[in-house]
A and B are shown apart, each in its own frame.
Chain A
Amino acid sequence: MSRILRAEWTKLRTVPSTAWLVAAVVALTVALGTAAVASLDTEYCPTPTTCAEDTARISLTGVWLGQAAVAVLAVLAVTNEYASALIRSTLAATPSRLLVLTGKVAVVTATVLAAAVPGVAGSVLAARVILPSNGFTAADGYAPLSLADGPTLRAAAGTVLYLGLVAVIGVGIATIVRGTAAALTAALTVLYAVPLLVRFVSDPAWQEQLQRWSPSSAGLAIQATTGLDRLPIQPWAGLGVLAGYAAVTLVCAAALFRARDAG
């Protein structure tokens, strides 16, 4: 297994786009998170306290952009190998396809998790510095964001895990679809189109069900730190729903990967 892991790692790190994408995961997550926090104000609230902004969640807004880079990284890790027909050599060297897929998922996910940690930590740190100057002060009930605080730590660590699960889903979809454009479009649809539908459906019953069962809306429940009783799905249960989707995608991918010829 360690041989397979090393092989997958070598393949991943020697593609020039990987380094760029890892940097993009960190930079985009921090950049969008910082911009969201910087734009936050108390102008539309009667008093800052009654605003009840979930500052931890808003500081992690960057995940919406970071996950795109994660999806590209995960999809390319698979489809590049098909495009260059390297997959044939890989399978000749390791005939057990399940081991190849396991190795690939492990290496891609580990890489993404390693990129997500500084991205998420940087976002929280930036918010900690910026928020007080935008009117979200300790005096108004907004304690400085800190990873020592239980819910904030859960939101931050959960966001890292969320990005890891996005990577698993990306590898799974790419293994099923095999073409870069189709796989990427499918992944982006799951990550963005479904949440759009969730947000703009106006019937409350529909909205609650969609939030509970759509992959990214449920998964991002992990970022909530206030008003937990009003959430359609609790944080860890939501991340569990996403993990369920990841598992199903991976099982389908494994079954197809075993059954098909290496195109």
Chain B
Amino acid sequence: MTATLRPARPRAEHVAGFARLVHAEWTKFRSVPGWVAGMVAAVAVTVLVSLLAASGSGSDANEASELVTGPDGDLVSDAFHFVHGPMTGDGSVTVQVTDQDASHDGAMAGLMIKDGTTPGSAYAAVMVTPAHGVRLRADYDTDIAGGDGGAPRWLRLDRSGAEVTAYESADGAEWTEIGTVRVRGLLETAEVGAFVASPPEMRVERQAGSTSVGETATIGHATFEELAVDAGDAADPERWTGDDIGQAMEGGVTRAGGTLTVTGSGDIGPDPPDDDPVQIGLFGAVVGLMVVVAVAVLCATSEYRRSLIRTTFAVTPRRGQVLAAKAVVIGSVTFVAGLVAAVAAFLLTRPLLRDAGFAPPAFPEPSLLDGPVLRAVVGTAAMLAIIAVFALAAGIVTRHSAGAITGVVMLVVLPILVASALPPGTAEWIMRLTPAGALAIQRTKEPTAGLVEPWAMVGPWAGFGVLCLYATVAVVLAARSLRGRDA
């Protein structure tokens, strides 16, 4: 026996070889009319079903009796008890929060400077919370973390023009700056004072097989001492009055010496509806993916049925590369088709959804260039592409069209139907463990348990990651089975 050494091929030749392989697989794909027709059908089905879903959807969020909109025009929640007085021009206000009830993890007690007392007006506030530390918040969208821990604590707000700087202190002597925010359009004379809020507790309830989310109001209490204003033109804190802002439950204030006890309820922050019109407009992908699966599985299995695979392997003995080339072709073709479908579905469903109530202020007009919208649209195409690669690998492992198609479709689609009939805890786990969670990439909003769609409970990348994991395992198994078995 003589050992023979194969000369190592130069890298450039490797690359050229793989490019030829991809080209060969592309030729195979485009020369089968059924597959090309299948991809066109997947695009058509995705767009049509999206249009159908959009026509059958509606929202009455804009018809609520009292809509509160923030400085940007977005829906916000703005409810609390405010012990306040006017302050003109620059100045600062200081207080010691001596005690706060843990009525809610995110309950708030602190100082606020606000553009009048109309709900939804601009503001900056520094506060202690029972579980989220000290926070500086402004205009419903800015949230800066201060130190950990809650009451007792000294707080200070310092206004200079449109800029407000917040400080905190443990003893009232040594102060730490938390940050500076710019409050949009703050008038020369603004309301300053102490406030207490306590957000409602979310409650998931299940009855007769359907899940609903309700809210229970919570009531917060806090005590303040040493309330002081340092400004050229401001009312004396002794004469400040307490007002319920927004739709909060009845709060109040009692004075005993220099101590203020304030009771308040409500939340201050963004309050968009859970429904996501962008996701509704991409719903057709759930059906389109079934066609994609069929085409991708056929790409793998029909070569076995027609024994073309023997020729393929005779030409390219490196079977791993053949698999890679196939995956590149089916993945890219599906990605392009999916992108066309997703962009078309997004644009075509816009007018329908707007007429159905998905309009500002509850639903700001989405733009394809917004980060989350772009993620949803491109993510839909990427999800379809990964599902195609998953199906291709499943086809190679099973070599059985019917089994592979059914298996992949069941893994992606069935969990949705099963999860939506089960309690939320179970449904969330199903979404975390099966590729069905990948549909979360189509959502542009925060995860929530308040919707029928079970994938709304997981974050976009968590769900997409699970699908990628499944696809990777399938591709590894396919590579092993290609090497280990006869064609």
Q: Which residues of A contact B (CB under 8 A)?
A: 17, 32, 36, 39-41, 43-46, 50-54, 57-58, 61, 64-65, 68-69, 71-72, 75-76, 83, 179-182, 184-185, 188-189, 192-193, 195-197, 199-203, 206-207, 210, 226-227, 230
Of the candidates B49, B401, B402, B403, the one whose C-beta lies within 8 Å of that of A197 is B49
Binding site for A on B (CB under 8 A): 34, 49, 52-53, 55-59, 204-209, 211, 275, 280, 283, 286-287, 290-291, 293-294, 297-298, 305, 356, 401-403, 405-406, 409-410, 413-414, 416-418, 420-426, 452-453
- Asked if A39 and B423 make an inter-chain contact with CB atoms under 8 angstroms apart, the answer reads yes
Contact indicator A50/B207 (Cβ below 8 Å): yes
B414 and A181 contacting across the interface, CB-CB below 8 Å: no
Given the interface pairs A196-B416, A202-B58, the reply to whether A44 lies near B294 with Cβ below 8 Å is: no
B209 and A44 contact, CB distance less than 8 A: no
A54 touches B208 (CB 8 A): yes
Q: Which residues of chain A are near B402, meaning CB under 8 Å? A: 17, 72, 75-76, 180-181, 184
Are A203 and B423 neighbours in the complex by a CB distance under 8 Å?
Answer: no
- Do A197 and B53 have beta carbons less than 8 Å apart? yes
Secondary structure call for the B interface:
helix
Q: How far is the CA of A57 from the CA of B205 in the complex (A)?
A: 19
B424 / chain A contacts, CB cutoff of 8 Å = 44
Q: B206 near A64 (CB under 8 angstroms)?
A: no
B406 engages A203 (CB within 8 Å): no
* B208 in complex: contacting residue of A52, A61, A83, A200, CB < 8 Å: A52
| Contact A58/B416 with A192-B409, A200-B452 known, Cβ cut-off 8 Å | no
On whether A197 and B287 interact (CB within 8 A), knowing A181-B298, A185-B294, the answer reads yes
CA distance A28 to B336 in the complex (A): 36
Contact status A41-B410, CB under 8 Å: no
Q: List 17 additional contacts besides A40-B426, A53-B209, A72-B406; criterion CB under 8 Å.
A: A39-B426, A44-B425, A52-B209, A58-B209, A58-B422, A68-B410, A69-B406, A71-B406, A181-B294, A182-B34, A184-B402, A185-B291, A196-B416, A203-B57, A203-B58, A206-B55, A227-B208
Contacts of A43 in B (CB 8 A): 423, 425
How far is A98 from B59 in the complex, measured between Cα atoms in Å?
A: 51
- Cα-based distance from A72 to B420 in the complex (angstroms): 25
Please tell me which one of the listed residues A40, A75, A189 contacts residue B422 in the complex, with CB atoms under 8 A apart. Answer: A40
User: In the complex, which residues of chain B have a beta carbon less than 8 angstroms from the beta carbon of A44?
Assistant: 204-206, 211, 423-425
Q: Which residues of B contact A46 (CB under 8 A)?
A: 205
Given the contacts A181-B297, A202-B58, A203-B57, A226 and B421 also touching, CB distance less than 8 Å:
no
Q: List, sorted by A's number, 6 A–B pairs whose CB atoms are closer than 8 Å.
A: A39-B426, A46-B205, A54-B209, A193-B287, A200-B283, A210-B56
Task: Please give me the 5 A-B residue pairs with the lowest Cβ-Cβ distance, nearest first.
Answer: A201-B56, A206-B56, A39-B426, A44-B206, A185-B294
Q: Are A64 and B423 in contact (CB under 8 A)?
A: no
> Are A40 and B423 in contact, with the CB atoms below 8 A?
yes
**Given A51-B207, A192-B290, A207 and B414 contact (CB-CB distance below 8 Å):** no
Number of A-B contacts defined by CB within 8 Å: 140
Query: Contact at B405–A184, with CB atoms within 8 Å?
Result: yes
Task: For B293, list chain A residues within 8 Å (CB).
Answer: 185
A193 to B356, CA, bound (A): 23
On whether the beta carbons of A68 and B406 are closer than 8 Å, the reply is yes
Whether B290 lies near A199 (C-beta < 8 A) is: no
Contact A200 B426 (CB under 8 A): no
A83 closest partner in B (C-beta): B305
Name B288's closest neighbour in chain A (CB-CB). Answer: A193
Residues from chain A with Cβ under 8 Å of B452 in the complex: 199-200, 202
Q: With a CB–CB cut-off of 8 A, which chain B residues contact A17?
A: 402
With a cutoff of 8 Å between Cβ atoms, the chain A residues found around residue B208 in the complex are 51-54, 226-227, 230
Instruction: Output the least CB separation between B236 and chain A (Å).
Output: 50
A179 to B224, CA, bound (A): 77
Q: How far is the CA of A39 from the CA of B418 in the complex (A)?
A: 11
A196 pairs with B417, CB closer than 8 A:
yes
Q: How far is the CA of A193 from the CA of B285 in the complex (A)?
A: 10
| CA A61 to CA B205, docked complex, whole Å | 21
Q: How far is the CA of A206 from the CA of B51 in the complex (A)?
A: 14
**Which residue on chain B has the smallest CB distance to residue A58?**
B421
- Complex Cα spacing A40 to B427, Å: 10
Residues of B within 8 A of A76 (CB): 402
Q: Give the Cβ gap from A37 to chain B, nearest Cβ, in Å.
A: 10
CA distance A29 to B379 in the complex (A): 33
Q: Say yes or no: A184 contacts B417, CB within 8 Å.
A: no
What A residues does B294 contact at CB under 8 A? 181-182, 184-185
Distance A20 CA – B420 CA, assembled complex (angstroms): 29
Task: Give A210 to B55 CA distance when docked, in angstroms.
Answer: 13
User: Which residue of chain A has the shortest Cβ distance to B302 in the bound complex?
Assistant: A181
- Given A61-B421, A184-B294, the answer on whether A201 and B53 have CB atoms closer than 8 Å is yes
- Kindly list chain A residues whose C-beta atoms are within 8 Å of the C-beta of B49: 193, 197
Contact check, A189 vs B290: say whether CB atoms are below 8 A apart: yes
Contact (Cβ within 8 A) A41 B423? yes
Asked if B287 and A61 make an inter-chain contact with CB atoms under 8 angstroms apart, the answer reads no
List, in ascending order, chain A residues with CB within 8 A of B297's CB.
181
A196 CB contacts on chain B under 8 angstroms: 286-287, 413, 416-417
Q: Using Cβ atoms and an 8 Å threshold, which residues of chain A touch B401? A: 180-181, 184
How many angstroms between the C-alpha atoms of A182 and B53 in the bound complex? 24
- Chain A nearest CB: distance from B298 CB in Å? 5
Question: Which residues from B are CB-within-8-Å of A61?
Answer: 418, 421
The docked-state distance in angstroms from the alpha carbon of A54 to that of B206 is 12
Do A195 and B283 touch (CB < 8 A)? Answer: no
Residues on the B chain within 8 Å of A207, using CB: 56
Contact of A57 with B58 in the complex, beta carbons under 8 Å: no
Please measure, in the bound complex, the distance between the C-alpha atom of A58 and the C-alpha atom of B280, giving whole angstroms: 27
